[in-house]
Amino acid sequence: MSKQVPIVEGLFTWPAEQPALLGSRCNNCGVAAFPVAQSCMACSGQDVSVEELPGRGTLWTWTVQRFMPKPPYHSNETPETFQPYGVGYLELPGGVRVEGRLTENDPEKIRIGMEMDVVFDTWRTEDNGDEIITFFFRPVSEPAQEG
């Protein structure tokens, strides 16, 4: 029976009603890191706590990857079916700037400073039917226009 499997354990909470990216915060200097680290890159401290990172942030910078990367890239795509994908750093308030894939790949629809949500979705399907789950950044949808 197929199941949903996170791309790696400990990157985000899964399964969870509201999945969240997991970061670590240094108990000495207060600096956060993603993914969870055993020690602090800022102060060399080794006393860190794991916490859930905010689920919404602002786009700090971005690009669109228009050619298919070589391995270790591992998707279900072939060179024929490859679709360009957006990549960006999302600034999570009080946390860190996390790098991730965007759900949007149209440069006309991506701009620095826009709000995005951290969402979790299937990245690829394995031969045994398992769905590999990872995180993406999705533009916060504009409020519906009235009339």
Partner 1 sequence: MDVAIVGIGIHPFGRTPSRTGLQQGAYAARLALQDAGVEWKDMQFAFGGSASAGNADALGNELGLTGIPFINVANGCATGGSSLMAAYAAIKSGEHDIGLVAGFDKHDRGAFNADPAALGIGQWYGEVGLMMTTQFFAMKIQKYMHDYGISADTLAKVAEKAFSNGALNPNAWRREPVSAEQVADSMMLNDPLTKFMFCSPAEGGVALVLCRADKAKNYCDSPVYLKSAVLRSRRFGSFEVFAPSQALQQVDGPTVDASKAAFEMAGVGPGDIDVAQLQDTESGAEVMHMAENGFCEHGEQEQLIQSGATHIGGSMPINTDGGCLANGEPIGASGLRQVYENVLQLRGQAGDHQVPGDPRLGYTHVYGAPGISAVTILQR
CA 77 centroid distance within chain: 20
* By the rule CB under 8 A, 138 interacts with partner 1: no
> Is residue 130 at the binding interface for partner 1, with CB under 8 A as the rule?
no
Kindly give, in sequence order, each residue whose CB lies less than 8 Å from that of residue 33, ignoring residues fewer than 6 positions away: 23, 24, 25, 26, 40, 41, 48, 96
Query: What is the b/e burial string over 50-89, where b = at least 16 CB atoms within 10 angstroms of the residue's CB?
Result: eeebbbebbbeebeebeebeeeeeeeeeeeeeeeebbebb
Q: Of the two residues 13 and 134, which places its CB atom closer to partner 1 in the complex?
A: 134
> Which of 19, 25, 100, 120 is the binder for partner 1 (CB under 8 A)?
100
Q: How far apart are CA 31 and CA 81, in angstroms?
A: 41
Among 25, 34, 48, 137, binds partner 1 (CB under 8 A): 34
Which of 2, 15, 49, 66 binds partner 1 (CB under 8 A)? It is 66
Instruction: Say whether residue 109 binds partner 1 (CB under 8 A).
Output: no
Q: Does 30 help bind partner 1 (rule: CB under 8 A)?
A: no
Q: How far is the CB of 66 from partner 1 (least distance, A)?
A: 6
Distance CA 99, CA 96 (A): 10
| Number of shown-chain residues binding partner 1 (CB under 8 A) | 41
Task: List residues near partner 1 by CB under 8 A.
Answer: 7-8, 11, 23, 31, 33-35, 41-42, 60-67, 69-75, 85, 87-89, 91, 95-101, 107, 112, 123, 134
